[in-house]
Amino acid sequence: LILFLLIHHYTKWWTFTVHRRPLQSPSITSQELFRLGIIQSDHNLSFLVFSREREREREREMTELAHSPIFTYASMLTLFTLCPPFVILLWYTLAHQDGSVTQTYGFLSKNGVQGLIDVWPRPTVIAWKIIFCYAAFEATLQLLLPGKRVEGPISPTGNRPVYKANGMAAYFVTLATYLALWWFGIFNPAIVYDHLGEIFSALVFGSLVFCILLYVKGHVAPSSSDSGSCGNLLIDFYWGMELYPRIGKNFDIKVFTNCRFGMMSWAVLAVTYCIKQFETNGKVSDSMLVNTILMLVYITKFFWWEAGYWNTMDIAHDRAGFYICWGCMVWVPCVYTSPGMYLVNHPVELGTQLAIYILVAGILCIYINYDCDRQRQEFRRTNGKCSVWGKAPSKIVATYTTTSGETKTSLLLTSGWWGLARHFHYVPEILGSFFWSVPALFSNFLPYFYVIHLTIMLVDRAMRDDDRCRSKYGKYWKLYCEKVRYRIVPGIY
């Protein structure tokens, strides 16, 4: 498991450093540029040449960061090979092997590859129906529910995506509809749990086809100039072709995969596990209640802050490929919900006092995580003209140049939560995940797999974000790091 996580970490790291070029780079003369009205003087032409040289210099810098292609390709192929069976084995271990890794290991040691084939559920009609109904419902809500117009960050090519912020409404409509279907006897959520293996199996294959279609779309019908190929099919498929793929003008594919399919399924499955335990045992254990409440509080926080999420690396930097889309559509529903999946058949009675302690500690961590994001979002919204912990914020005014040669300005917050560490908000996020996992206590390791996975993922993200900002802001980022010395944990790391 640890080896798998390390491979996952380093594969993301290697692909991050690969240079990407535009899909089409036709040669064009200065006379044609004059005729098209793109430039009006030799000065403009000189500026374009300078911008192109600067872009080439940045490309050379990024290429120097790249690891050996052999390791990169081997790691990607390893992940393509390991991720699907890992999802199935995680479900199988939690649902049929009492959450014991040693029991599953013993079974596979005895039966080999045939054992994996035997336990791998075949996608069924009911599994596909559940997936398609859920996906269609969420897509409809994304399109039809009203929401505030929100602009995302300016992309490297100067584009600014526009979103409709209706995630919170979609979240409440989804949960209310799901509970109403159960309450009125129209649909029993326990059916979802009973067919969970088949659903995960269908998602494994269906999401792979989805990623292939995204790859083809990136080649034949990119939605914006924020798209391109590095010239390698494997890397393009893994990392993605488009930064902001859309169907038509209004349906953003990454918002759908990341938020409305992935994160929403987390909430739906958390409720599903709670209902399944109630129908099996006639009651819900306090451990399951703590787990479900904390997960729902966290997901509620996410959708409340969804517009802020559109400014993060997942949306504003990582392209729509296997890594992001397959991960959100398969990895999130399985791995992120795994503590609750374990508790369905392994209820733990914590006692009122311990349950309250864990619940309060978890909510506090989620609140701090939210307040970190709120603080930075307010700072950006007011252009630094706000109060941070009761006083004027400390900041660095940084300038950078886009790939089109346009100069932009950003404010880097160096006080409040963001003065403690450059990514301090990851600390309460990791602790929050621990508190919704710890109700399972310590009989088995697997309920804590998500905590370990999240820790490695966030450390990796912090490193990638630092490298991206160093490349973007240059001397200003160096000054920022001198002022905010620690990356994640104040005084330690």
Mark whether 344 and 396 lie in a shared domain: no
pLDDT of residue 159: 84
Closest C-alpha among 160, 418, 489 to residue 311? 160
**Is the residue at 330 inside a domain?**
yes
Radius of gyration, CA atoms only, the chain: 24
Domain count, the chain: 2
Has residue 3 got a pLDDT over 70? no
Domain termination site, one of 315, 349, 383: 349
Mark whether 320 and 416 lie in a shared domain: no
pLDDT of residue 72: 78
Tell me the pLDDT tens digit for each residue of 422-479.
999 999 999 999 999 999 999 999 999 999 999 999 998 899 889 888 988 999 999 9
Tell me the pLDDT tens digit for each residue of 153-166.
888 788 889 999 99
Mark whether 293 and 416 lie in a shared domain: no
Mark whether 162 and 237 lie in a shared domain: yes
pLDDT of residue 61: 40
The number of residues making up the chain comes to 493
pLDDT interval class at 208 (50, 70, 90): very high
Mark whether 128 and 214 lie in a shared domain: yes
Has residue 58 got a pLDDT over 50? no
**Is the residue at 331 inside a domain?**
yes
**Is the residue at 17 inside a domain?**
no
**Is the residue at 111 inside a domain?**
no
pLDDT interval class at 405 (50, 70, 90): confident
pLDDT higher for 375 or 157? 375
**Is the residue at 487 inside a domain?**
yes
**Is the residue at 46 inside a domain?**
no
Mark whether 394 and 429 lie in a shared domain: yes
pLDDT interval class at 227 (50, 70, 90): confident
pLDDT of residue 342: 97
Mark whether 289 and 378 lie in a shared domain: no
Mark whether 167 and 298 lie in a shared domain: yes
Could you tell me which residues are beta bridge partners of residue 396? 412
Burial of 76 (0-12, 13-18, 19+ CB in 10 A): buried
Tell me the pLDDT tens digit for each residue of 89-129.
999 999 999 999 999 999 999 999 999 999 999 999 999 99
Domain termination site, one of 296, 314, 349: 349
Mark whether 304 and 385 lie in a shared domain: no
Mark whether 319 and 447 lie in a shared domain: no
Mark whether 284 and 395 lie in a shared domain: no
The whole-chain average pLDDT of the chain stands at 86
Mark whether 344 and 388 lie in a shared domain: no
**Is the residue at 13 inside a domain?**
no
Range of the domain at 409: 371-493
What are the structure tokens assigned to 410, written together?
A: 């950003």
**Is the residue at 100 inside a domain?**
no
- How many alpha carbons lie under 13 Å from residue 138 in its C-beta half-sphere? 26
Q: What is the mean pLDDT of residues 284-295?
A: 98
pTM for this model (two decimals): 0.84
Backbone angles phi, psi at 303, to 5 degrees: -75, -30
